[in-house]
Amino acid sequence: MAINRTSSHGEWSSRTAFILAATGSAVGLGNIWKFPYITGENGGGAFVLIYILCVLFIGIPIMISEVYLGKRGRLNPIASIKYICERENRSKYWQVIGLFGILTGILILSYYSVIAGWTMAYASRTAFGILNNIDAVGATTMFNDFISDPERLLAWHTMFSIITAIVVSKGVKSGLESAVMRLMPALLVLLLALVIFSAFEGDFINGLKFMLYPDFSVVTWKTVLIAMGQAFFSLSLGMGALMVYGSYLSNDISIPQTCVIVASLDTLVALLAGLAIFPIVISSGLEMSQGPGLIFQTLTVAFGAMPGGQLFGTLFFILLIFAAWTSSISLIEPMIIWLIEKYDLTRMQAAAFSAGLAWLLGIGTIISFNIGSDFTIYGMTIFELLDYITSNILLPMGGIMITIFVGWFIVKENINSELKIKSRFLTFVWYFSTRILAPLAVMFVMLNALGFNINIF
């Protein structure tokens, strides 16, 4: 049966607040930076269709499971799992799910903050007209010079870390909720403004065709794997953030309905980002399959050459800052409430310690691009190693364990009384996805990312 527990850290004031917070956690650089370029690399419309199917049948079931754990436990991720295990008579070792979430969040934040610092630097450069009329060679040179300067990277990384710490130190309603209630609407307005700009100044028709017209001749097993991986990582699954945000959810709010809305908004932002970027890239005669350089090199050339490009280029990088900011506060929150509950720290102390730890680890990422680029572990720089461990091991393992634990080790009656899915068919679909489809799909993604090259076709 449903247990009416409340979080000692406070609750969201409304379902809208939770939706904006969870969407803010999901909407990050992965949507606006990564989604467009991997869509460009994998054929456009066909990839988008596969991605949406993965969100529906893999992403949403895992999201529902993670939010359910948080809402039922009402504590930090480790303590929440422990509480549930005690009431379900399950092994206490399932607490490793919460440990993975906390560890993953702080490791991701350590390098996420560095990349977010790049967006802050480029917003200022664009605003002051430094990128006006820049060509491809100049954009590449500028980017390489920028990441080669550890002092500049450290300054922007430090600034972003301080901003994140200040927001989360203020608590759930004054900090997290207040920030996302302002940032998320601003982010959506900026994105829509950029789409309108793209419609007038870019080749919008061909950009729309590229996004929506499926060409299955380019689809391979690797395309499906990339789509599954992007759906999983884009929704902030397996890193403890949604579990924590779920713990602040009031008892009268439906988890399934809310998660569907969050996933839909997250996907909408990714699609709008593509519609903002692709028409500009096409009209400028540039390649859409430019990889990570699509934002910091290719788009800077396009904005620099277009009427109004300085203004809208600045707005674009501000959009990236907002997206990174809403994600960063969700990445750090699991460790903060763990420190508060475990060591009786004040929220300000916990925020300062967590942000300081992520900042310190981020120095390793900074030097990976310059003075420490020759230092490698198993052939990877510090940044590459952190990204590899979190993306290919910790996140997938967290997602797999969440679905197995919820799907197989929690009494059905306890789940059904909380989720209240009225349709028997939808209940069947959710259980099938949670118990079988989602864990197997994520396992395939993980094993292929680790180099096992599993092919079911």
Helix (H) or strand (E) holding 401: helix 395-409
Alpha carbons 261 and 243: distance in angstroms, whole number: 17
Residue located via tokens 């396009």: 302
Q: 377: which strand partners? A: 380
Helices (H) and strands (E) in the chain, counts: 23, 0
Q: What is the mean pLDDT of residues 358-366?
A: 97
Distance CA 216, CA 45 (A): 9
pLDDT higher than 50, residue 1? no
Compute CA distances 29 → 119, 245, 317, whole Å: 10, 20, 11
Percent of the chain at pLDDT exceeding 90:
58
Tens digit of pLDDT for each residue in 180-196?
Answer: 888 889 888 888 988 89
What does residue 377 show for φ and ψ, rounded to 5 degrees? -125, 120
pLDDT digits 0-9 by tens, 95-135: 999 999 999 999 999 999 999 999 999 999 999 999 898 98
Per-residue pLDDT at 3 exceeds 60: no
Q: CB under 8 Å to 129, separation ≥6 — which residues? A: 310
Q: Over the stretch 269-319, which tens digit does the pLDDT of each residue have?
A: 989 988 988 888 888 776 665 555 667 877 888 888 888 889 988 998 998
The region of weakest confidence among 27-31, 56-60, 132-136 is 27-31
CA angle 335, 237, 15 (to 5 degrees): 85
The pLDDT score that the predictor gives to residue 298 is 75
Tokens encoding 214: 């499926």
Report the pLDDT value the prediction gives residue 213, as an integer from 0 to 100.
85
In order of start, what are the domains of the chain with their CATH numbers? 15-57+98-397 (1.20.1740)
Residue by residue, DSSP assigns 23-92 as HHHH-SHIIIIIHHHHHHHTTTHHHHHHHHHHIIIIIHHHHHHHHHHHHHH-S-HHHHHHHHHHHHT--G
Beta bridge partners of 380: 377
